[in-house]
Homo-oligomer: A and B are copies of this chain.
């Protein structure tokens, strides 16, 4: 009915109502309000109704920050740092994470580390300041990782997702990179290819190393030597990958097949191969790690090592909540490696 009842002490923003305000409005004590809000037992129905009416009228929302101050209370927050949310892969990961967190009644605080360890450190510090109950980090992989050490986290559990960090002994969820790369490469070798190129991102990236390892392993097991001049790492985006492969295809003795270690490199490879095919070059066989939408419509024959980013996020959250809910009190750090699936997109044109 009435307009703004001028509460003293307000500046610009009307200042959110407090239990006090609700109590006055309902003509009860703050405690009664609190009890009603906590789904209280033992409150006279009439009072309860009055309180609920007051809450609705004032658009009251319990101050969670104040609440989390009380001993024993939790913030309901999980801190998440991602290296680049614009990468659809990590977007899926976040979704898996958020879903599980929501199911456990938690909210996620998200920050982009942008592959920058300093930023990551800052994000983690900020999250700790906000008293997150746990952390999920896609590590940016700098050399200096003491901000991820359990000691620095004051007992707040951490789960690493997608990449491990050497020397940081915490729960970690990975894709089975080595196996995926090995099987993909083995497939190419079994098809008879003897000059197989490798396209990957910089080796400081954990997954880059593991996938190259799988590549080498497959060669060793097949008794085929790795052609070192065909191994190109350091392409962080599709454009440089395209450039790198284009150069390789112009060699006197070019590769007949390519294993690309990630999404970005696969996209660049497709472009390079499509361009080469347009000029009448011989076909080049491509096998890429990571899938992507429309992979099945690729203009060049393609197989992929597919895996489920959403599942990865969900599992990371799962490990975290096992810690938080005491299901796994102080078990040693666990390592989960998610399976991969080899998929063909050969287009029988």
A residues near B (Cβ < 8 Å) are: 9, 11-14, 16-17, 59, 61-66, 68-69, 71-72, 75, 77, 84-88, 90-92, 94-95, 98-99, 102, 107-112, 125-126, 128-131, 151-155, 267, 270-271, 274, 278, 292-294, 297-299, 310, 326, 349
* Interfacial chain B residues near A108, Cβ < 8 Å: 109-111
Contacts of A12 in B (CB 8 A): 326
Do B61 and A125 touch (CB < 8 A)? yes
Tell me the complex Cα distance, A17–B152, Å. 12
Q: List 21 A-B contacts (CB under 8 A).
A: A59-B153, A61-B154, A64-B129, A64-B131, A65-B66, A65-B130, A69-B69, A84-B95, A85-B95, A88-B91, A91-B91, A107-B109, A107-B111, A108-B110, A108-B111, A270-B297, A278-B349, A293-B293, A297-B298, A297-B299, A299-B299
Chain B proximity of A41: nearest CB distance (Å): 22
A9 touches B271 (CB 8 A): no
A301 to chain B, nearest CB (A): 13
Report B-chain residues with C-beta under 8 Å of the C-beta of A85: 91, 94-95, 98
Q: Give, as a whole number of angstroms, the nearest-CB distance from A154 to chain B.
A: 5
Min distance, Cβ A276 to any Cβ of chain B, angstroms = 14
The reply to whether B69 and A98 contact each other, CB–CB distance below 8 Å, is: no
Shortest Cβ gap from A112 to chain B (Å): 5
Select from chain B the residue with minimum beta-carbon distance to A294: B294
**Bound Cα distance from A87 to B293, whole angstroms:** 11
Asked whether, in the complex, the Cβ of A109 is within 8 Å of the Cβ of B109, the reply is: yes
A127 to chain B minimum Cβ distance, whole angstroms, is 8
| Cα distance A95–B90 in the bound complex, in angstroms | 11
Q: B267, A294: Cβ atoms under 8 Å?
A: yes
Extra A-B contacts (15), CB below 8 Å, given A65-B69, A77-B109: A59-B151, A64-B129, A64-B130, A65-B66, A85-B95, A90-B91, A91-B91, A94-B110, A98-B111, A102-B112, A107-B109, A107-B130, A108-B111, A294-B294, A294-B298
CB distance from A132 to the nearest CB of B (A): 10
Task: Name the 7 nearest CB pairs between A and B, nearest first.
Answer: A91-B91, A65-B65, A61-B128, A86-B95, A61-B129, A88-B88, A64-B129
